[in-house]
């Protein structure tokens, strides 16, 4: 029987469903500052750089813990690690409602950020329940939990209006506690999925010597790191650039966050069918085009004509900007899935460790980029400078990918092999 057509046990689908729910809630919590950070910016009198640091603090710890969490998942199993991780975040989420000073939010945000490490737990956990030919799909469905960023944009503004920003972490703490219970009740454990106890920590990290890991880290730093950074940045961008109400701004920002999360599952299916390389290559090109158009700032210029001086305005309106962001979100969704298809294909027995390393790189991108966005705005006064920065990062990925992969494949058409030196 063909591997792709082999039946998948019902228990595997149940594990995938409850794990995806848990990851969605974790991501919703992880992105909390993307909405409540706006009233906090006004309350605390923050500049753009300080706002960027505020939103990025949870991303930092959520990134740094990914490698150990991935390794622990390989060793102890995803069920126990995921449950303990989510339970550990509940007190910090609740405490956020009682913070009053800037440093309070920074410190508590570090502990809330542990929720972001759930990705490196769930990815190897769900992948091992499925045959290799279906792992891209399984990881893509799980990764659709990134849509928690959009859920945050739907729920948090309503809570802000109902009871102020402090109500958001209180409600989120209760939701997280309930999710821990649901996850434990409906998830399962299979000792066969664990790395044998004879495998040492240093053995698991030997794959770091492989240059492919660094390349996958670079790809993921843009498709995931860029997604996280923009998900945190877009609500205040709409408010500042177009003068929108926070509820309208959050709704429009969700046009990027929602497809950027939900459609990751389709990216997994495409990666299983066409391969990780082809999907990633086209993702980078689509992202490059979108970011080129998004980078152009609002511009007024005067031209001397035969009829006198005329003034022209060039810039994206709300509708065109939102449409481009939606396309970018779709591209990032496909790219997030395709990068982890690379991982499952190349490291089938070390998924937890490698996914933790690649996830760390992506998460650190999500930490550094909002701070750089703020610094660039403070330095230049141009809000679209954030997209200029991402445009440059995508260029690096495209060049690296071309020299290490595209020249060796048929993505750009058949190429002669006569001059190709023997391996």
Contact assessment for residue 359 and residue 63, using Cβ atoms and an 8 Å cutoff: yes
Q: Given a cut of 50, is residue 355 above it in pLDDT?
A: yes
pLDDT in tens, 365-390: 888 999 999 999 999 999 999 999 99
The answer to the question of residue 329 being in a domain is yes
Overall number of domains in the chain: 1
The answer to the question of residue 3 being in a domain is no
pLDDT of amino acid 332 = 93
pLDDT of amino acid 423 = 31
Please tell me the least confidently modeled range out of 106-110, 197-201, 226-230: 197-201
CA distance 417 to 329: 37
| Residues of the chain above pLDDT 70, percent | 90
Tell which residue, 290, 311, 284, has the closest CA to residue 300: 311
Q: What is the 3-state secondary structure (H, E, C) of 172-222?
A: HHHHHHHHHHHHHHHCCCCHHHCCCCCCCHHHHHHHHHCHHHHHHHHHHHH
What range does the domain containing 360 cover? 11-192+203-408
**What is the model's pTM?**
0.78
pLDDT in tens, 294-351: 998 888 888 888 888 888 888 889 999 999 999 999 999 899 888 888 887 877 777 7
pLDDT of amino acid 207 = 64
The answer to the question of residue 91 being in a domain is yes
pLDDT of amino acid 409 = 57
The answer to the question of residue 143 being in a domain is yes
Q: Given a cut of 70, is residue 1 above it in pLDDT?
A: no
Average pLDDT over residues 412-422: 41
CA distance 161 to 36: 11
The answer to the question of residue 404 being in a domain is yes
The answer to the question of residue 413 being in a domain is no
The answer to the question of residue 80 being in a domain is yes
- Please calculate the CA angle 43-44-45 and round it to the nearest 5 degrees: 95
Q: Given a cut of 90, is residue 139 above it in pLDDT?
A: no
Tell which residue, 315, 119, 321, has the closest CA to residue 220: 119
CA distance 143 to 262: 8
409 or 302, higher pLDDT? 302
Report the DSSP pairing between strands 299-305 and 308-314.
Answer: antiparallel
pLDDT in tens, 63-102: 888 878 887 888 888 899 999 999 999 999 999 999 999 9
Mean pLDDT score across all residues of the chain: 85
The answer to the question of residue 4 being in a domain is no
CA distance 380 to 372: 12
pLDDT of amino acid 184 = 94
Please tell me the least confidently modeled range out of 134-148, 260-274, 357-371, 404-418: 404-418
For residue 4, give the DSSP letter. G
pLDDT in tens, 15-61: 999 999 999 999 999 989 989 999 999 899 999 899 999 999 998 89
pLDDT in tens, 167-203: 999 999 999 999 999 999 999 887 777 766 555 556 6
Q: Given a cut of 90, is residue 275 above it in pLDDT?
A: no
Average pLDDT over residues 128-146: 82
Report the CATH number at residue 310.
1.20.1250.20
Q: What does residue 210 show for φ and ψ, rounded to 5 degrees?
A: -80, 120
Supply the DSSP string of 102-129, one letter for each residue: HHHHHHHHHHHGGGGGHHHHHHHHHHTT
- Cα→Cα distances 134→314, 344, 411, Å: 47, 10, 23
pLDDT of amino acid 161 = 84
pLDDT of amino acid 307 = 81
44 or 404, higher pLDDT? 44
pLDDT of amino acid 209 = 73
């Amino acid at each position: 029987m063909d591997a792709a057509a082999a039946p998948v046990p019902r228990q595997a689908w149940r594990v995938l469903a409850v794990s995806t729910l848990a990851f969605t809630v974790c991501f919703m919590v992880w992105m909390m500052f993307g909405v409540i950070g706006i009233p906090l910016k006004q309350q605390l009198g923050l500049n753009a750089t300080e706002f960027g640091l505020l939103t990025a603090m949870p991303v930092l710890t959520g990134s740094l813990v990914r490698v150990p969490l991935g390794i622990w998942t390989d060793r102890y199993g995803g069920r126990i690690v995921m449950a303990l991780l989510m339970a550990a975040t509940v007190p910090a989420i609740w405490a956020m409602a009682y913070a009053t000073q800037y440093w309070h939010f920074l410190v508590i945000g570090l502990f809330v950020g542990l929720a972001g490490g759930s990705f490196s737990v769930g990815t190897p956990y769900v992948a091992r329940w499925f045959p290799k030919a279906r792992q891209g799909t399984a990881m893509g469905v799980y990764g659709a939990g990134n849509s928690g960023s959009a859920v945050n944009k739907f729920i948090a503004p309503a809570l802000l209006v109902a009871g102020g920003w402090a109500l958001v972490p209180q409600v989120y703490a209760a939701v997280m506690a309930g999710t821990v219970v649901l996850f434990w009740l409906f998830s399962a454990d299979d000792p066969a999925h664990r790395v044998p106890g004879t495998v040492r920590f240093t053995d698991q990290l030997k794959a770091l010597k492989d240059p492919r890991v660094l390349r996958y880290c670079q790809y993921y730093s843009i498709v995931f790191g860029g997604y996280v950074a923009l998900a945190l940045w877009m609500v205040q961008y709409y408010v500042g650039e177009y003068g929108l109400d926070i509820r309208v701004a959050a709704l429009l920002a969700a046009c990027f966050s929602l497809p950027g999360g939900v459609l990751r599952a389709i990216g997994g299916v495409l990666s299983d069918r066409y391969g990780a390389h082809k999907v990633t290559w086209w993702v980078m090109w689509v992202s490059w085009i979108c970011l080129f158009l998004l980078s152009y700032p609002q511009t007024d210029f005067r031209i001397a004509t035969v009829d006198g001086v005329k003034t022209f305005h060039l810039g994206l309106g709300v509708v065109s900007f939102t449409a481009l962001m939606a396309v970018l979100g779709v591209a990032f969704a496909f790219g997030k899935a395709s990068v982890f298809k690379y991982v499952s294909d190349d490291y089938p027995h070390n998924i937890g460790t490698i996914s933790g390393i690649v996830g760390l790189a992506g998460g650190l991108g999500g930490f550094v980029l909002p701070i750089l966005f703020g610094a660039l705005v403070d330095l230049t006064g141009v809000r679209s400078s954030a997209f200029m920065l991402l445009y440059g990062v995508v260029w690096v990925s495209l060049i690296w990918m071309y020299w290490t992969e595209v020249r060796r494949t048929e993505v750009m058409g058949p190429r002669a092999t006569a001059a190709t030196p023997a391996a």
